[in-house]
Amino acid sequence: RLGILKLVQANAVFPKQIVWMDAISGERLTCIDLGAKFVENFDYPYIVVHRADLLYALYQACLASCMVAMETNRTVISVDERPETMMVECAGGMRYDCGMVVAAD
């Protein structure tokens, strides 16, 4: 839906299985196969990606979209949810009337 899967996959690792082992003996306790059956159940492979790579993919999607206004160095102090939109107020008096908001660190 976000259109970033290919960019995320380019920097991802695709483990074949997750293995649980006893920390003392090193004995293998159990594992989860992440192959075809996993993809069949969840529609996508198990992906491990660094947070910075995920944020970069999201950032690139924001830059590519004419529907996104990316604001940095803002501190959201309130969000007023309305039936169709939201009013976001930031420190310093900036106000935004928008359909969706993502505020993150």
**19 burial level (CB within 10 Å; 0-12, 13-18, 19+):** exposed
* Residue range(s) defining the domain that contains residue 91: 69-99
pLDDT digits (tens, 9 = 90+) for 66-103: 888 888 889 999 999 999 999 999 999 999 999 888 88
pTM confidence score: 0.67
From residue 42, alpha-carbon distances to 25, 58, 91 in Å are 33, 22, 41
Per-residue pLDDT at 40 exceeds 90: yes
Residues 29 and 54 in one domain: yes
1 pLDDT above the threshold of 80: no
Structural domain includes residue 91: yes
Share of the chain above pLDDT 90, in %: 74
Do 75 and 64 fall into the same domain? no
Number of domains comprising the chain: 2
Same-domain check for residues 4 and 55: yes
Note whether 53 and 80 are same-domain residues.
no
